[in-house]
Amino acid sequence: MHLPDALPLAASASNLLAAREQMAFTLAFHIVLSCLGVALPATILLANYIGLKRDDEAAIELAKRWSKAMAVTFAVGAVTGTVLTFEFGLLWPKFMDRFGAAFGIAFGIEGIFFFLEAIFLAIYIYGWKRLSGWAHFWAGVPMFLTGIGGAFAVVAANSWMNEPQGFTLNAAGKVVDTEPLKVLFNPATGYEVPHMILAAYMVTGFLVASIYAVGMLKGRRDRLHRLGLLIPLTIACIATPIQLFVGDTAAREVADKQPAKFAGIECIQEGGGHQTEYLGGVCTANGVKFAIPIPDLDSFLVGFHADTQVTGLDEIPKDERPPANTLLHLAFDAMVGIGSALLLLGLWLAWSWWKRREIPQTHWFLRAVAISGAGAVLALWFGWIVTEVGRQPWIVQGYMRTSEAVTDAKGIWFSFGFVLLLYATIGTIAILVLRGMSRRWREGAAEPEGTPYSPPAETAP
């Protein structure tokens, strides 16, 4: 091949890498904020409910603080979410041109839920001094509902990319007719949506609890810190065993409906029964190296019997096999491993509460909670690596390859650099604002408006 002929191919490959890296970075950043938008409303409302039901000033103060912190994260999420949405058209224009009529349905619905959540978040924060206690509580309930609705819409769009249906293609291969309900309720929606919503509650619960665990390790053992740890940690610990069950169900569905992805995750080179489960290790053409093997377990987990036939990579055409199998395998193992560790943390809390009606007072427990937030975020990222990398080389499973969808425009690497700078800036500002708020709360700065649910103080003429 002559050099002039090779240049377009090199440019295309460079664009594909740059677009993938930019999309991966922006998604990893935004997905954490999305989790807070989905699950923080329920955490706030639970604290608010406890405060009203038990006349608990500490719980009311927590709900008040968390709602103000959510306003900051929601604002940052609005920026990062907007960037992510535009990236579909800018980085993957051929995908949107061909499948936008189907893919865009869920995102249109998500936009409605997003704006509704923003409206009710504003009403909730504004209502602290202007509504009675229970009226204010019920004004916040739509935040919870719209958060769940938005999560459903976005994950339904991703589910559709994994198991597309509900559309008709014309002779040119472009969507000309859609069935919205079939697009939204595709076969993967049933397990991807609950898996993501539970992940949001785990990330939010462990992340918020970890902040108060750090404070308690520094000697702040007042009721506000204990309750600030207990409320979100309880939510996360309840979600964790349910998540492991849903994840196990999802893995069997993937093995059945997306066999190439499952074979890549488990590094199954040759299909058949009596498949060995490998913990860790490096995937090679000759098997998994440096791993802990558990004979027959993979087949048993897929079909509850050691004879269960599992599809191997040898049954998948070479150009349809997922890349980076070692990355896929280790990401899946890490996700499951972290989830199992968080389950043990939840059992530790449950045991202590059953025996003493109190959280464990040891430094080891607080240290475990302090790192649980970072662990939950890592598990979330690993899960999305499994979902997205495992679908490759397809952007729409079986219909369009990722390499066919990427833009031909020049300068994608410069775009990626600009996005890195933008996200670093808004991320730093958000952290500084949240730290400033935390410092003022810790120092007990007076609230000029008076206490929650009390009439506003009259202003002197």
Q: List, for residues 153-177, the tens digit of each pLDDT value.
A: 999 999 999 999 888 888 887 888 8
Query: pLDDT by residue (tens digit) across 115-157?
Result: 899 999 999 998 888 888 899 899 999 999 999 999 999 999 9
Q: Is residue 322 part of a domain?
A: yes
β-strand pairing of 287-289 with 175-178: unpaired
Residue 373 located in a structural domain: yes
Whether residue 33 contacts residue 401, with contact meaning beta carbons closer than 8 Å, is answered with no
Q: What is the mean pLDDT of the chain?
A: 87
Tokens of 1: 């091949």
Q: pLDDT tens-digit profile of 411-450?
A: 888 888 888 998 999 889 989 988 888 888 877 744 444 4
CA distance 384 to 331: 9
In tens, the pLDDT along 211-264 reads 999 988 988 888 888 899 999 999 999 999 999 999 889 888 888 888 889 888
What's the chain's Rg over C-alpha atoms?
A: 24
Provide the phi-psi class of 219: left if phi over 0, else alpha when psi is between -120 and 50, else beta. Answer: left
CB atoms within 10 A of CB 113: 20
CA distance 112 to 117: 9
With respect to residue 319, please indicate whether it lies within any of the assigned structural domains.
yes
Predicted local confidence at residue 87, as pLDDT: 87
Asked if the structure places residue 441 within a domain, the reply is no
**Confidence category of residue 460, pLDDT binned at 50, 70, 90:** very low
Is 270 within a domain?
A: yes
Q: Would you say residue 371 lies in a domain? A: yes
pLDDT in tens, 189-199: 999 999 999 99
> What is the structure's pLDDT at 452?
67
Number of domains, the chain: 1
Q: Domain residues for 367? A: 233-409
How far, in Å, CA of 201 to CA of 243, rounded? 10
Q: Read off the pLDDT of residues 313-341 as tens digits, 9 standing for 90 and up.
A: 888 888 888 888 888 989 999 999 999 99
Judge whether 370 lies within some domain.
yes
232: preceding bond cis by omega (within 30 degrees): no
How many angstroms separate the first and last alpha carbons of the chain? 84
Tell me which residue of 386, 388, 325 sits closest to 20, measured CA to CA: 388
In-domain check, residue 450: no
d(CA 279, CA 296): 13
pLDDT score of 454? 57
